[in-house]
């Protein structure tokens, strides 16, 4: 049973960044999400956009424990008041903080969101967390950023597959493309795509 049926007041949005690991065409290439915790691109406008989207209105941000380990010392947790929910099989091994809670079931995000008075949950990965989320529900929206190189000499490594073999099928089957924006910054050409569940 889709838990969203009982949780119509909470909007779930999946946020996925996928980069083209090979130079060349936009489709039919290999799309990665990163595999060892490192950021393989740095696009300032994209970081600003993510922060704006997740802070106004204030949101719950659901993240896998592996991804959280990689970003927790880098995110601005003082000013923006986002509430971070970290999915792990062993929440008792961690100490909750004022703005961070460890959970073992994705369904707990609904109760936490209500308790925090928040109507939007962003599911920001990594791959295991998206898989868990999409196995339980069809998120209301997917914000997909597809990153390509405008500088072909730029090396991009680390291609944990995601978009190509997992997300693309889901989007084709269950979503309509609602918004497209072409963006450039430095060595990158990228597209902001927003899908609504059909």
171 contributes a contact to ligand NAP by CB under 6 A: no
136 contributes a contact to ligand NAP by CB under 6 A: no
Are 10 and 114 in contact, with CB atoms under 8 Å apart? yes
CB of 51 to ligand NAP, least distance (A): 14
Size of the site for ligand NAP (CB under 6 A): 24
Between CA 86 and CA 123 the distance in angstroms is 10
Site for ligand NAP in 83-112 (CB under 6 A): 87-90, 104
C-alpha pair distances (Å), 146 with each of 15, 40, 79, 81, 120: 11, 13, 29, 28, 23
Among all chains, which residue has been given the structure tokens 């049926």?
A: 5
157 contributes a contact to ligand NAP by CB under 6 A: no
CB atoms within 10 A of CB 192: 16
64 contributes a contact to ligand NAP by CB under 6 A: yes
60 contributes a contact to ligand NAP by CB under 6 A: no
139 contributes a contact to ligand NAP by CB under 6 A: no
What tokens does 77 get? Answer: 């947790």
Nearest CA to 83 out of 102, 63, 65, 59 is that of: 59
74 contributes a contact to ligand NAP by CB under 6 A: no
The binding site for ligand NAP (CB under 6 A) comprises 16-17, 33-37, 64-67, 70, 87-90, 104, 124-129, 132
């Amino acid at each position: 049973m889709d838990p969203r049926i009982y949780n119509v007041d909470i909007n779930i949005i999946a946020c996925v960044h996928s980069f083209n690991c090979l130079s060349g065409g936009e489709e039919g290439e290999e799309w990665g999400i990163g595999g060892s915790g490192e950021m393989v691109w740095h696009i300032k406008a994209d970081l600003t956009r993510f922060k704006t989207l997740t802070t106004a209105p204030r949101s719950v941000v659901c993240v896998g424990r592996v991804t959280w380990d990689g970003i927790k010392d880098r995110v601005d947790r003082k000013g923006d008041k986002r509430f971070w929910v970290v999915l792990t099989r062993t929440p008792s091994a961690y100490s909750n903080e004022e703005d961070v809670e460890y959970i073992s079931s994705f369904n707990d995000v609904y109760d936490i969101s209500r308790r925090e008075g928040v109507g939007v949950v962003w599911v920001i990965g990594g791959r295991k967390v998206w898989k868990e989320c999409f196995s339980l529900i069809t998120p209301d929206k997917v914000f997909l950023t597809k990153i390509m190189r405008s500088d072909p000499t730029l090396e991009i490594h680390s291609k944990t597959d995601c978009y190509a073999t997992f997300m693309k099928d889901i989007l084709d089957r269950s979503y309509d493309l609602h918004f497209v924006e072409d963006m450039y910054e430095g060595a990158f050409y990228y597209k902001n795509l927003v899908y609504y569940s059909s």
